[in-house]
Amino acid sequence: MPVFALPLALFALSALPLLAAVYFLSSRHQKRVVSSLLLWPKDALPKGGGRKASRFRAPWLLLLEILILVLLALAAAAPMLGLAAGRRPVCVVLDDRVSLRAHDASGASSRARGLAALLAELEKAGKWEAFVVIAGPRPLSVGSAQTPEALKELIGAASSQSKWPCLAESSDVSAALSLAGQTAPPGAVSLVVSDRAPPKDLAQGVRWLSVGALLPNLGITAAARGRADDGLARDDRVMVELSNFSAAPVKAQVVVERADGAASFVKVSEAAVPIAADGRETAVFKAPPESTLRVRLAVPDALDEDNAVTLLPEPRRILKAKVEVGDETLRQAVSRALLAAGAEEVSSGEALLVSDAPVPLMPAAPGADPKAKVAAPLPQTPQADVWEWRIAVSGKEDQPKAYTGPFILQRGHALTRGLLLDGVVWGAPPAGVAAQTDDEEVVGLGDRPLLVDRLFPGGEHRLFMALAPDLSTLAETPAFPVLIANLADWRLAHEPGLRRANWRQGESVRVAVAPLAPGPWRLEAPGAAPTQWRGGPVFEIPTARTGAHRFMSADGKWAWPFQVNLCNAEASDLRLAVSAAAGQWSDAVKTEGRFKPAFLLILVALGLLMLHAWLVRRGAAASGSEGGFQA
């Protein structure tokens, strides 16, 4: 049975009666009164129809024209014949939101309802071939099936392989539809199974089945853990945010447990937290340090996945700095600012160097100008990334001047975050700091660089600042500790390892690996095979699944575990789920592997057209000699 991509073109067949009418009207005999039939040939019978019955003489030219018209109309309708024999291609997009795991009192989940609705909808489509795409944060194609059994098997396999676990905090259905459009044959229709309402601008050919259920839910929407040594506390502190997504107030029973062994937990504390309808409450608990904690709701509800979070001990990350500043006032200002930023001042070892000593110079390369001196390179030890902040203190011999601005800040640089230099008097030599071509100017005054950042191939940074303390108020203004705090954060961000151990699903875990092992690095995530990571010095790791993760070097020397929890208010709010159906499938259905004979039909029509022209021409020629064409 052929399928037409443009069935409206078949309306061209309505021209057939018109053609026949034109033909018979044009061949209708007009009455002509003559004096006598004496001179008229008696054997000249009419070509076409007439009132008198005579031997049937088929109007072959008319039949030829009808055939040409039919062929052209069929070609315009883009018929498709083929191997799939009318099998309708359907892009099945399965939402991977965690909210699809929500179950009602009977235990039926939205996911199960969606699968049943999917099969029922496909049953109405007759023969079909489903191309299944999972719509998570990133779409994933899992294959195709042509029968309900094969589709169930395909979806079951996807579920067992964690391809459709319904554990995503969000889903990008548009991207999934785009991927499905690329996976399925052109012209395929789409069927979306989700628990959310369809978009208002639902595209043509997309059928949207919302299989959600409006259920009350209580969930943990945020969780954090503080270290015991962070301040004066001796215990770690755990903060959880509890959200009540229902129209009735509830009392949440929260249990804090610590890990005792590989899979068992011991209760540490418990509290009942009253939460108003549609309310949100925060609860803080003390917990023993250096142990894995689990915070859970004691009473199960519609969605289990947001009822518990696991919190690992946060890593201790303190910046070490070595201050070698001769100017006493400036040195004290630097030390105070470093202490405020949480940095630890050391006198030896690998640390951030803040110095006002001149940069050691070394002769230029052989053959170059012997007077030219270049800054000595930083030590290139594999495991030491030495950052320096060189403050070029200007004396009277440099004839420094005091500048009040306007200062130009490179806002894209990490050092200028929240930095304001309004009202600051900055004393510096007229030429500013001696910058090189590749230096990034962080703070400048016109064409006069005051603070520049020089990046070295190993990832190290050396900052140069021109400052005349006697003429400057910078060290006495809030801008100075802001500058030092930014420096500390920036440096810590480039320290190897994780800044946090507990992440929310959907966040990108930032891991710095330089100058440690060059790689490759390995990521172990729950429900997925380990993946290898190369490059660096910083990796941005997406968190698609909840659970315990570990990022480690290939040799196992460096390993940083981190935990991903759901903690997503939108995912926990089951009141956003709806049960509805929207959209219609287009009749324009195409199937992969179909034979499209439109071009062939056009060729045949052209051939018949040429035959028609030849017959007409031959008839005209014969009319002049033998009495006309009598097809």
Partner 1 sequence: MPEAQLFPSIPAAFARGRALGAGWRLCRPESAARGVAGVLLGKRPGSSVEFMDHRDYQPGDDIRRIDWAAFGRSDRLSIRLYREENAPRLDLIVDATRSMDLPGTGKAAAVATLAGMLLEAAQGAGFSPFLWLAGPAGLRPVRQARGDGMALALDFAEAGTPRIVDRAARLGAGSVRVLISDLLWPVAPELVVRHLAAGAASACVIQVMAQSEAEPPKVGAVRLHDHESGEERQIHVDAAIAKAYADNLAAHREAWGAACRCRGAQLVEVTETACFPDFQCEPFLRARLLEPR
The site for partner 1 (CB under 8 A) is made up of: 27-42, 44-48, 50-52, 623-628
CA gap 468, 470 in Å, rounded: 6
Q: How far is the CB of 620 from partner 1 (least distance, A)?
A: 8
- A 10 A CB-CB count for 353 gives 17
Using CA atoms, how far residue 372 sits from 148, 183, 346, 369, 507, in Å, is 79, 63, 35, 5, 49
Cβ contact 93:135 at 8 Å: yes
Q: How far is the CB of 29 from partner 1 (least distance, A)?
A: 4
CA gap 447, 186 in Å, rounded: 58
Q: How far apart are the first and last CA of the chain?
A: 35
Residue 52 or residue 396: which is nearer to partner 1 going by CB?
A: 52
Cβ contact 461:455 at 8 Å: yes
Q: How far is the CB of 16 from partner 1 (least distance, A)?
A: 22
Residue 34 or residue 262: which is nearer to partner 1 going by CB?
A: 34
Q: How far is the CB of 613 from partner 1 (least distance, A)?
A: 18
Rama region for 143: left / alpha / beta (φ>0; ψ in -120 to 50; rest): left
Q: How far is the CB of 45 from partner 1 (least distance, A)?
A: 8
Q: How far is the CB of 603 from partner 1 (least distance, A)?
A: 33
Residue 39 or residue 262: which is nearer to partner 1 going by CB?
A: 39
Residue 14 or residue 35: which is nearer to partner 1 going by CB?
A: 35
Residue 31 or residue 411: which is nearer to partner 1 going by CB?
A: 31
Cβ contact 214:574 at 8 Å: yes
Q: How far is the CB of 19 from partner 1 (least distance, A)?
A: 18
Residue 54 or residue 147: which is nearer to partner 1 going by CB?
A: 54
Q: How far is the CB of 22 from partner 1 (least distance, A)?
A: 14
Length of the chain: 631
CA gap 427, 441 in Å, rounded: 17
Kindly state the greatest CA–CA separation across the chain: 139
Residue 40 or residue 599: which is nearer to partner 1 going by CB?
A: 40
Helices (H), 246-361: 328-340
Of 167, 311, 316, nearest to 240 (Cα)? 311
CA gap 415, 484 in Å, rounded: 8
Residue 57 or residue 550: which is nearer to partner 1 going by CB?
A: 57
Q: At 240, phi and psi to the nearest 5?
A: -130, 145
Q: Which helix (H) or strand (E) holds 218?
A: strand 217-226
Using CA atoms, how far residue 37 sits from 32, 175, 620, 628, 631, in Å, is 11, 83, 26, 21, 26
Label residues 524-557 b or e (16+ Cβ within 10 Å = b). ebeeeeeeebeebbebebebbbbeebebbbeeee
CA gap 80, 73 in Å, rounded: 14
Residue 35 or residue 106: which is nearer to partner 1 going by CB?
A: 35
Q: How far is the CB of 11 from partner 1 (least distance, A)?
A: 31
Q: What is the DSSP letter of 583?
A: -
Q: How far is the CB of 59 from partner 1 (least distance, A)?
A: 12
Q: Please list, in sequence order, all residues whose beta carbon lies within 8 angstroms of the beta carbon of residue 263, skipping any fewer than 6 positions away.
A: none
CA gap 241, 365 in Å, rounded: 62
Q: How far is the CB of 38 from partner 1 (least distance, A)?
A: 5
Q: How far is the CB of 23 from partner 1 (least distance, A)?
A: 12
Q: How far is the CB of 43 from partner 1 (least distance, A)?
A: 9
| Three-class SS of 443-465 | EEECCEEEEEEEECCCCCEEEEE
Residue 59 or residue 515: which is nearer to partner 1 going by CB?
A: 59
Residue 49 or residue 561: which is nearer to partner 1 going by CB?
A: 49
Of 297, 321, 323, 320, nearest to 308 (Cα)? 297
- A 10 A CB-CB count for 324 gives 15
Residue 42 or residue 234: which is nearer to partner 1 going by CB?
A: 42
Q: How far is the CB of 57 from partner 1 (least distance, A)?
A: 10
Residue written as tokens 């403050």?
391
Residue 31 or residue 200: which is nearer to partner 1 going by CB?
A: 31
Residue written as tokens 């070295």?
456
| SS3 assignment, position 375 | strand
